[in-house]
Structure 1
Amino acid sequence: MSFKHLPLLGAAEIIGALGLSPEQTAAAADMAHRVAQSAWRRRGPRKSGQSYEEFAATVSDCAWLTMFEFGALLALGRRREALLLADASRVVHQAARTAARK
């Protein structure tokens, strides 16, 4: 488990709000890092020279917390809510990218 890139105050709020155990917290942190590593492996040619640490440092706090909450919901057995969170996150990030291009 690594909290290296997770915003600690935000993670603490999620831990408290969901009532996570230490094991569930560890699983959620691991999930956040696995998702980030997956994104790093699929990065485009523009970012292909970045190490994982460089890439992880550019991930927004909001994205880290979303990935952490996704993992927390899965650790709690709340798969449907986790998938809804992931879908909502994709929609919001896609809308932000579209707005940034205009």
Structure 2
Amino acid sequence: MSFKNLPLLGTAEIIGALNLSPKQTASAANLAHRVAQSAWRRQPPHKRGLSYEEFASTVSDCAWLTMFEFGALLALGRHHEALLLADASRMVHHSARTDPPK
């Protein structure tokens, strides 16, 4: 389990709010890193100049916390809530990328 890129305060809040066990916490942290590694491997060719560590440091705190919470909900067996979180995250992310600046 690595908390290297996870924002510790936000991660601790999620752990406390969901009352995660050490095993569930490790599972959520590992999932967050697997998702980030998958995103790094799937980058378009023109963006592949970064190592994983460099790429991981560019991922926003909000994204890390969302990935961690998603993993935590899955570890708790709360699959429906995890999918709702993922869908909401996609909608917000897509909206932020397509809405013109005001």
The TM-score bracket by the shorter chain reads over 0.9
| Structure 2 equivalent of residue 95 of structure 1 | 95
Is it true that 1:37 corresponds to 2:25 in the alignment? no
| Structure 2 equivalent of residue 58 of structure 1 | 58
Q: TM-score under structure 1 normalisation?
A: 0.96
Structure 2 distance, partners of 1:64, 1:15, is: 14
Q: Percent identity?
A: 79
Alignment of 1:12-91 (within 5 A): 12-91=12-91
The CA RMSD over aligned residues, in Å, is: 1.3
C-alpha deviation, 1:101, in angstroms: 7.0
Q: TM-score under structure 2 normalisation?
A: 0.96
Note the residue ranges of structure 1 that are not aligned, 5 or more in a row: none
Residues 8 and 82 from structure 1, CA distance in 2 versus in 1: closer, same or farther, beyond 3 angstroms? same
Structure 1 distance, partners of 2:91, 2:42, is: 19
| Structure 2 equivalent of residue 11 of structure 1 | 11
C-alpha deviation, 1:34, in angstroms: 0.4
Amino acid at match of 1:96: A
Amino acid at match of 2:74: L
Structure 2 distance, partners of 1:32, 1:66, is: 8
Note the residue ranges of structure 2 that are not aligned, 5 or more in a row: none
Q: Which runs of 4+ in 1 moved over 3 A?
A: none
1:60-83 alpha-carbon deviations (Å, 9 max, x no partner): 000000000000000000011001
